[in-house]
Each structure stands twice: as structure tokens, then as C-alpha cells.
Structure 1
Amino acid sequence: MANNKKNEKSGSNSSAKFTFWVIGLVVVCLAAFIFFGNHNKKQETSEVSKIDYTNQPYLGEKTAPVSIIEFGDYKCPNCKNFATNIVPVIEKELVDTGKAKFYFMNDSFINTDSIRSAKFAESVFKELGNETFWKFHELLYKKQPEDPKYEKMDVFTEEFLTSTLKEVASDAEVEKVVKNFQSKGSEDDWNKDMDYAEKLGVTGTPTIFVNGEMFKGQTIDDLKKMVDEAAKGNSNE
């Protein structure tokens, strides 16, 4: 999907009108991400379609027939825009309707903050579960600084991450996460994401995959079509 160049998450006539305007906004947003939003870093490699989704944070029902993945970086401004403006529409149109599950995986490349925040978030997921992970995930993007110079600064320090987690978790829960993070208890989980990003040929964030195939469309309708086709493919297996 529209990517931040690698440096650079639910009727009636009135309901129909609302949906129309939301879709129209997302069409523009998705096109902007695709053509102007890529944070680039590396050459594309061969795609791998078989992905192990075990122990990955997700939105939706386990029984949903299609799996959507976003590869993102917490320091990436376009990922923040994607989380704020696009993911809610994906939730409404594809997740809440039971058509798909939405996963987040890390592709941390911008600086040390990217790696630190990703590993901390992995510890949150491991120790406190899926629901708290998403609260922390969304809050972390909201707190991403607006100043473009921040990419070269250490903003997401351990102290900052711990303080942010305290807004959505108890002191006892925060202590468990910090202990896991400091002991590198989620190192393997982060490495798993990074290995997939490389094997799948991810060249920018955010990048989207549908059942292991990279999304190269331009609009929410393109994504919905790809999800529908993936669902049909599953039913034929």
C-alpha cells in the first residue's frame, strides 16, 4: 500500500452517504500513500506467501478467512497517518464485517528508536496480550512528534515508552513488560517480523499484504477486491 519510503489499526440513506464520503476520503489517502508516501530502504527480494501468524497482534475474528498484514515502523510519519486515517476504515469495511483479520508486524529501519519501540511493543503483547498491545500501539503513534527533525533524535527512550504504557496499564503490568524488555524476552518475536519483511521484499512502510501477497492497488476498493478474491481462493482450497 502506500509506503513511507524506508527511511521514511467499526442500511439507511444517511449511512450510505456517510460511507460514500468515507470511501472517497480513503481513495484519496491511499493514492497519496502509494505515490508519495514511501520511506525507502532496500531492494525488493522474492515474495514468500506462506506466513506463520502465530503469536502476532491482530484485529478481528480468528475465523475471518483472509489475513491482512501491515508492516510498519513507529518512527514513520506515514505509518502514523495510516494508523490514524486508513486503519479505522479497513476495520469498518473489512475487519468488522468478518471478511479479514488485520495484523501488525514490525519493519524497524529508521533509527534506534524504531527498534527500541518495536521490541517494547512486542514485550507489551507478550506480557499483557492483544487488547493492551493495540491500546499501546495506537497511543505510541499519537505521541509521535510532529517535528520532521525527530527522526534523527532519540525520542522513544525506555523511560518514554514506560511512561506511555502507564497510561493504559497498571504499575504491576508495566513492571512485567519492562522486565521482559530488559531481558530481551521478545527479541525472537521482533526478529521474526524483520525476517518476514526481508523475505517478502518490503521496501517501504506502511506496506500491506493480503494472504501473503503484496497489495499494489491504489484505493480502498482495490483492497476490498483483493480481499474478496483471496476469500474465494480460500474457499476453493
Structure 2
Amino acid sequence: MNRRRFLTLSGVGVVGAVAGCSGDADTGESIDDHPAAADLEAQPRRGELGGHVVLAFEDPSCPTCRRFHQDTVPAIQQNIVDTGKGAYVVRTYPVIYPWGEPATQALESTFARDGEAFWSLFGHYFAEQSSFDSDNVLERTEAFLTEETEVDGEAVASDARERAHDDAVQADVQAAENAGLGETTPIILLFEDGEFVTKVNGSVSYDLIAEALGEHDG
């Protein structure tokens, strides 16, 4: 990240943590060494790693995550993923409302079976967020997967109740804790050419992400 870009981001109060901002060189921590990016290749993602990486810790029960998913992620898909410039990676992080934890268990169970079904379910949780609670989330999850995907919804719901994929859930939680990210979701970490650029929280705009990643540099 060059100094001008860092000062612009700092001026609008959105930089959560920036490494390597002296002079014109970015000496940020390598993505391979950053604790939030541990086992990154095993996480759900759109696009290919390398170039820009937008790593988001999101809770399906979080209203701010919903706004980020609906307002900003489509632009990330269009401008970074579809153009081959990088990847959008999700780590599920259930820290807001209680139903987010069984939903996260179901997401990991779904991802273990079918990546595209994971994205369908992830989007469904945000689209219908107000209709979920701890009592109905797995029943509604089972119905959605059965009706809208090729995944066995009953098996996913059973796995979620038994926490069959809890290792994957806890790996995401541990990655956040190891990186000291806190619990203000969504938490978005940006990497450029394999180096950490910055961390931001909340339903940030695509323009802010593009600025941090140098997409607006002339």
C-alpha cells in the first residue's frame, strides 16, 4: 500500500490495522503467515487466491453481515472475482445471535458435501434472516437444502445437531482469536499480492475496498 492510499483511508476513519506503511513500500505480513488466513485454501471462496484477497469473517445471524453480503459482495464478485483479479473468501464466525451457531454448523456440513450448495445456503440465511431463530433454523435449513439443492438436507441437519463438523467451525473461531479480530462482524481483511493491507469492520462499501487494494490508483 502506498503512503497516499494509506492516508486517504486513515482520513475517513476506516483503517483497522495497517502493516508496512512507511515510504512507498508495503511491508505487510505475508498471507501465508497471517493467523486469520490459516488453512486458507480449505475455506469457501469465489475466485482464485493470489492477487487481491478479500477475507471476510461473517455470522449468518448478523444484520450488518447481511448488508455487506447484499450490498458489497456483488461488486466484489463483479470487479475482483469475475475479472480474475483475486478471491472472496468466507470464514463463518458465529458470535452475534444464538441461531448463528447451529447455522454455522449446517454451513460447514453443507460445504463438506457441495461447495455451490454452501453458497446457496449462505445467501438464504441472509435473505431470510428475520425468519430464523434457534428453534427453527435447522428445520428451515433442511427444507431449503432439500427443495433448492442436490444436498441431503436431512443429513446436514443431523450433522449440525451432532456438531459433526465442529472442527471446521472451531478452526474459523480460532483463526479470528489468534488474529485478535474481536467480535464486531463482519470483519474484512484485505490482502494484495500476498501481503496484508488492512482490516475493516462493518458493512463497508466496495469503493473503500477498491481504494485499499489499489483499484482506484491512476
1:192 aligns with 2:171: yes
- Give the C-alpha shift of residue 135 in structure 1: 0.9
* Structure 1 residue 83 corresponds to structure 2 residue 63: no
Aligned length: 179
Cα deviation, residue 184, structure 1: 2.3
Offset of residue 154 of structure 1: 2.7
Whole-angstrom CA distance in 2 between matches of 1:113 and 1:49: 24
Give per-residue Cα distances to partners, 1:171-227, cap 9 Å, x unaligned: x62233234334422100000110111122223111101235543496533422433
Going from structure 1 to structure 2, the CA distance change for 1:157 and 1:63 (only over 3 Å counts) comes to: closer
Superposition pairs of residues 22-33 of structure 1, within 5 angstroms: none
Gaps of 5+ in 1: 1-30, 35-46, 230-237
**Partner amino acid for 2:185?**
T
The alignment's TM-score, normalised by the length of structure 2, stands at: 0.70
In structure 2, C-alpha distance between the alignment counterparts of 1:57 and 1:107, rounded to whole Å? 13
Give the match for residue 152 of structure 2: 173
* Structure with greater helix percent: 1
User: Residue 56 of structure 1 aligns with which residue?
Assistant: 43
1:110 Cα shift? 1.9
Query: Which residue does 1:134 correspond to in 2?
Result: 119
What's 2:29 paired with? none
Helix, strand or coil at the partner of 1:145: helix
Shift of residue 134 of structure 1?
Answer: 0.4
Deviations 1:38-63 (A, max 9, x none): xxxxxxxxx74653213211111x35
Matched, 1:215 2:195: no
Q: Which of structure 1's runs of 4+ aligned residues deviate more than 6 A?
A: none
Q: Is the Cα–Cα contact under 8 Å of residues 59 and 95 in structure 1 kept in the other structure?
A: yes
Identity among equivalent pairs (%)? 23
Moved more, 175-184 or 115-124: 175-184
> Alpha carbons of 1:85 and 1:192: their partners in 2 closer, same or farther (altered >3 Å)?
same
Native 8 Å contact 2:44 2:90 kept in 1: yes
Show structure 2 runs of 5+ residues with no match: 1-11, 15-33
Q: Distance in 1 between matches of 2:128 and 2:135?
A: 10
Q: Are 1:70 and 2:50 an aligned pair?
A: no
Q: Whole-Å Cα distance in 1 between the matches of residues 172 and 135 of structure 2?
A: 23
CA contact (8 A) 1:49 1:213 kept: no
Tell me how far apart the structure 2 counterparts of residues 183 and 194 of structure 1 sit (CA, whole Å). 18
Q: Distance in 2 between matches of 1:208 and 1:156?
A: 29
The two structures, once aligned, show a CA RMSD in angstroms of 2.9
Change (3 A) 1:105 1:177: same
TM-score of the aligned structures, taking structure 1 as reference length:
0.65
